[in-house]
Amino acid sequence: MESMGAVLNRSEVPFPTGDGQVLEETRQPERAEPENRVTVGEPFVDDPRMTCRDVNVYYGDKHAIRNVSIDVGRNEVLAMIGPSGCGKSTFLRCLNRMNDTVDTCRVSGVIFLDRLNIYDKSVDVVPLRAQVGMVFQKPNPFPKSIYDNVAYGPKIHGLASSRSELDEVVERSLKKAGLWSEVSDRLDQPGTGLSGGQQQRLCIARAIAVRPEVILMDEPCSALDPIATATVENLIAELQEQYTIVIVTHNMQQAARVSQRTAYFHLGDLIEVGSTDRIFTNPRHRLTEDYITGRFG
Ligand SMILES: Nc1ncnc2c1ncn2[C@@H]1O[C@H](COP(=O)(O)OP(=O)(O)OP(=O)(O)O)[C@@H](O)[C@H]1O
Ligand SMILES: [Mg+2]
């Protein structure tokens, strides 16, 4: 399958080596106290899909994200957790330049998708947002049929050359999203007529249909009941085989169930990153510990 990356202009900006920014184990305190705001743990991986260095985000004068450096590993699920207002959604939106749509918002630092500097002036955000797709908190199907919700992206990105190819993309995407058996006999009906959990899977199918490499999910289950949540969580585990997923969640059990790495944010700082198992059993930063034990947030 040809990657959507082929249609993006590759940037000439040098790939960040991390020199001078790598947080060596030896320089890190065994236990970090609240005043320490240098990320502790393991923010970097050997084979990153996305590489973020020194990312700062401002809304006007408000400094919402401070000096965040982190990698997103290939085919991993990275969970981002932290108290309300700490900047999880803001940082997530940096990963596909969704913040470009906010007038007051300014982003500095570098973010690479593989070797593409996504903030390079030559990058067209339309294919970028297909490559790095997004699923929002509230399911937001288009006011179109189930079929057209999924077919829309492939059509505008020219990913299907005939009606039968489009039919195949729609069927394959709905199958991957675990929705096909529930909707195959009513593809012409409005997407908005589905249940909340079905709508969310429809939005996931819509994201998948344009062959993304990374899928960003901002609290994708918070509007769903426990059964629909379980369905989406199982789906995340299956999608991981093919995609890289970054998920913001308020639900720590969910982070523990679906992710391999977890990043803890606090008031705009990335406090700690590590394997999900370690973060939940042996956090190294006091602020992480306070949050996961329910003393904060
Ligand atoms: N469009 C905006 N304009 C101005 N400030 C904003 C905007 N969006 C977010 N902020 C501010 O940036 C900070 C981070 O917000 P963000 O929505 O990223 O937090 P969050 O961690 O996702 O919170 P929640 O868990 O409640 O969703 C907050 O102080 C918020 O008020
Ligand atoms: Mg948010």
Of 93, 129, 123, nearest to 212 (Cα)?
A: 129
Please state the rounded mean pLDDT for residues 196-216: 95
Please state the rounded mean pLDDT for residues 261-267: 98
Q: Is the pTM of this model over 0.85?
A: yes
Tell whether the model's pLDDT for residue 140 goes beyond 50: yes
64 lines ligand 1 (CB under 6 A): yes
Residue 136 lies in a domain: yes
Residue 163 lies in a domain: no
For residue 201, count other CB atoms closer than 10 A to its CB: 28
The atom of ligand 1 lying closest to the CA of 250 is: 25
Q: Give the model's pLDDT for residue 295.
A: 81
Tell whether the model's pLDDT for residue 279 goes beyond 60: yes
Residue 192 lies in a domain: no
Supply the range of the domain harboring residue 229. 4-8+43-141+212-292
102 lines ligand 1 (CB under 6 A): yes
Does 37 or 52 have the greater pLDDT score? 52
Domain with 110 in it: what CATH number?
3.40.50.300
| Count of the separate structural domains present in the chain | 1
Please state the rounded mean pLDDT for residues 197-225: 95
Q: Give the model's pLDDT for residue 26.
A: 46
Residue 184 lies in a domain: no
Q: Contact at 8 Å (CB) between 78 and 261?
A: yes
Rg (CA), the chain: 19
Lowest mean pLDDT segment, chosen from 3-17, 71-85, 166-180, 232-246: 3-17
Q: Give the model's pLDDT for residue 28.
A: 63
Tell whether the model's pLDDT for residue 176 goes beyond 80: yes
Q: Show the tokens assigned to 107.
A: 């982003």
Q: For a pocket test of ligand 1, which of 61, 66, 81, 89 has the largest count of ligand atoms closer than 8 A to its C-beta?
A: 89
Residue 175 lies in a domain: no
Q: Give the model's pLDDT for residue 4.
A: 40
Residue 29 lies in a domain: no
* Banded pLDDT at 5 (limits 50, 70, 90): very low
